[in-house]
Amino acid sequence: MQEDNDIYKEIRPYIDSEVNGAIERLVNDDEFITAILNYRFPQLSGVFGWLLRPIIRRFLVSKWSNIHTVEDVQNHVAKYMASTLDHSCDSVTHSGLDKLDPTQSYLFVSNHRDIAMDPAIVNWCLFQRNHGTSHIAIGDNLLKKPCATELMRLNKSFIVKRSAKGPREMMKALGQLSSYIKHSLESGNSIWIAQREGRAKDGNDKTEPALLKMFHMEGRKRKESFADYMASLKIVPVAISYENDPCDLLKAQELDQIRTQGSYEKGELEDIDSIIKGIVGQKRRIHVSFGDVVDNSFETPEAFAQEVDRQITENYKLFPANYIAAGINHESVTADERAKFEAKLASQPTGVASILKQMYAYPAEKKQA
């Protein structure tokens, strides 16, 4: 097992023997300690930073003293998730897990609305129903700081090398990724991956056929047909629905700037800000719908992508804001809900409000169609 793991050492999550080393590096990482300081004690970080840094280090050493394995990390993350969800949403519900075998590994292909919460919520649902939590695909564009890499790999994340330069290096990276996904599934570890690169900021969930071609690269190496190899991966489409997206305004402003100015320059810490806002921001209700395993009826990436999209669209749970935005009458829409949503739109410039409205309308319009 260790020998197999070493083939993927640069991209795979950490294994038990690497947990203590990663925690030690985190505790001694000045940028990591400063980030905690700035987030928890913004008023004190400047003047009293020199005094608080060693206190934070000692606190972390003590808090993490009982973490020695990947399972210990998962149990620690579960406690943090319980607290976070308690403060940032009204409820988390899920459906479809009863159709999946907890002893099997699956490739969960989900819609993508929030950088950190999408995989965290899926794993939370799996954890609650005694399914093994999945390994999480994360782009290296989010791992610019060493401490971010340590945290993600401790939490069962593997690296997607989006920054690979040149066709040869890119093909090598994609081949390694495809091979790792199959290896992980064969080793009994489920995988979570988004249906597309980047979030669906406009609310239109669509699967990229290129993702499915990447999955099949290992199948081609094994001389297996697209349909049969894809069926062997046990792909389950997952629809994650947030009643309120804490990053909706940021997304709408970005899309409006692209519409009016032709481009958008992302700030250096913008992804980090979106991650924090997505985690702590108010989401109201969340629903995760696990679909059916896709069989070998689909012989092309395009046909397979259509099936994933069909399941995500059908299984997406609609909330009052979706119906209001799409102009659909529904029993769940109260006068209070309508007034809240209309006030939200009225507080924004026309262009931003229009994008915001369409963002919530898309799932309902697609479902109706």
User: What are the tens digits of pLDDT across the range 70-129?
Assistant: 999 999 999 999 999 999 999 999 999 999 999 999 999 999 999 999 999 999 999 999
Mean pLDDT of 1-13: 75
Residue 94 CB partners (closer than 8 Å, separation 6+) = 125, 128, 129, 287, 288, 289, 290
Count the Cβ atoms, other than its own, within 10 Å of residue 280.
Answer: 13
Express as a percent the part of the chain with pLDDT over 70: 97
Q: Give the total residue count for the chain.
A: 369
Distance (Å) of CA 24 to CA 21, 68, 151:
5, 11, 12
Q: How far apart are CA 8 and CA 5, in angstroms?
A: 6
Strand 235-242 to 284-290 pairing: antiparallel
Of the pLDDT bands very low, low, confident and very high (cuts 50, 70, 90), residue 273 is: confident
Taking each helix axis from N to C terminus, what angle separates 167-186 and 209-221, rounded to the nearest 10 degrees? 70
Q: What are phi and psi of 348, to 5 degrees?
A: -115, 155
Q: How far apart are CA 192 and CA 314, in angstroms?
A: 20
Tell me 245's DSSP state.
-
pLDDT for the residue numbered 44: 67
pLDDT for the residue numbered 37: 83
Q: How far apart are CA 109 and CA 238, in angstroms?
A: 6
Residue 221 CB partners (closer than 8 Å, separation 6+) = 175, 179
Of the pLDDT bands very low, low, confident and very high (cuts 50, 70, 90), residue 1 is: very low
pLDDT for the residue numbered 145: 87
More confident residue, 33 or 4: 33
Residue ranges and CATH numbers for the domains of the chain are 2-16+67-315 (3.40.1130), 318-369 (no CATH)
Per-residue model confidence as pLDDT tens digits over 174-219: 999 999 999 999 999 999 999 999 999 999 999 999 999 999 999 9
**Among 55, 121, 130, residue whose Cα is nearest residue 84:** 121
pLDDT for the residue numbered 8: 95
Per-residue model confidence as pLDDT tens digits over 74-83: 999 999 999 9
Three-state DSSP state, 123: helix
